[in-house]
Amino acid sequence: MSAPLLQVGALFKRFGGFTALAAVSFDVPAGQRLGIIGPNGSGKTTLINCICGTLRHDNGSVRLSGVDVSALPTYRRTRLGLARSFQIPRPFYSMSVAQNIAVALEYGVGRRRVHASAARKEGLTVLDRLGLTAKANADVGSLTQVDLRRLELARALATQPRLLILDEVMAGLSSVEVDDMLETLASLNREGITIVMIEHIMRAIMGFSQRVICLDAGSIVADGEPAAVINSAIVQKIYLGG
């Protein structure tokens, strides 16, 4: 039996005296759509940062297809098929949309480096997929908030990930735009990309996820079917008080 795509084992992260993550453990099997919820400050983004290597965790392990990547820098994890989007879009501002994608195409795949013309084609496919084709040569500075979010996702996709981790990729989008984004994500998932999504928009979480994890104060307090998690007493208490 092969190992799950992502295994997070007893992850600890402290900032001084504050414990941001306390023994967080979960597995994500290949192909799953996992939603992560939790109040502000519960450790969601810290968790992503530790999985991706942006932050070094203090204790525990992160495994990708059974391989411990805890000691690897972020770029090596990306080349192993782990891509992420940032909560606040971080485009390369001096470049055009297409150039942003090109960097990810050139570096993201590492040794699987492809031929230049194949890369260009791949880039166009990614842009097309997110409806950015018409803006391929636009300056990033001229993009709207929606397009910045799309670019953030497109750039992550260009690294050809197996596991895509999205940090509030739908924040600030209108209802129609959220539907569009969900459709895109669903089709990516059908093609075999495993997706972990942090989101505050409940409609998106409920409609998209097969499984939901709820974090609170650095620990997993609920894990299971979306409806079951949302309706569990502890999650209701965290969100509604009482």
Partner 1 sequence: MRNWSRFLIGATLSVLLALGLTRFVGNEYFFFATYVVLQFIVLATAWNILGGYGGYVNFGASAFFAVGAYCAVALTQSYALALPLQILAAALVTGLLGFAVGALTLRLRGIYFSIATVAVAVICETVIMNWSFVGGARGTTVLQPAAPAFFSSYTRLLFFVMALLALLAVAFARFVETSWIGRGLRAIRDNEEAAESVGVPTLKLKLFAATASGALMGAAGAPFALYMNFIEPTSAFSLNYSVSALAMPLIGGSANWLGPVIGAILLAGTQQIVTVTISSELNVLIVGLLLVVFVVAAPHGILGLWHKLVARGGQRP
User: Footprint of partner 1 on this chain (CB under 8 A)?
Assistant: 52, 54, 73-75, 78-79, 83-84, 86, 90-95, 99, 102-104, 106-110, 155-156, 158-159
Closest to partner 1 by CB, 69 or 156: 156
195 or 229: CB nearest partner 1: 195
- Side-chain-side CA neighbours of residue 185 (13 Å): 29
Q: Are 169 and 193 in contact (CB under 8 A)?
A: no
Q: Which residue's CB is nearer to partner 1, number 20 or number 102?
A: 102
Cα separation, 183 vs 189, in Å, equals 10
Distance CA 127, CA 140 (A): 14
Cβ at position 240, least distance to partner 1 in Å: 35
Report, in Å, the least distance between residue 222 CB and partner 1: 29
Structure tokens at 128: 């097309």
Q: In terms of CB distance, is 126 or 178 closer to partner 1?
A: 126
Min. distance of Cβ 160 from partner 1 in angstroms? 10
State how far the Cα of 129 lies from the Cα of 207, in Å rounded to an integer.
21
- Complex with partner 1: residue 44 or 84, whichever CB lies closer: 84
Min dist. Cβ of residue 132 to partner 1 (A): 16
Tokens of 205: 């979480």
Residue 39 or residue 129: which is nearer to partner 1 going by CB?
A: 129
Q: Are 220 and 26 in contact (CB under 8 A)?
A: yes
Fill in the amino acid letter for 125.
T
d(CA 130, CA 207): 20
What is the Cα gyration radius of the chain?
18
Provide, rounded to whole angstroms, the least separation between the CB of residue 48 and partner 1. Answer: 10
Compute the least distance from the CB of residue 173 to partner 1, in Å: 20
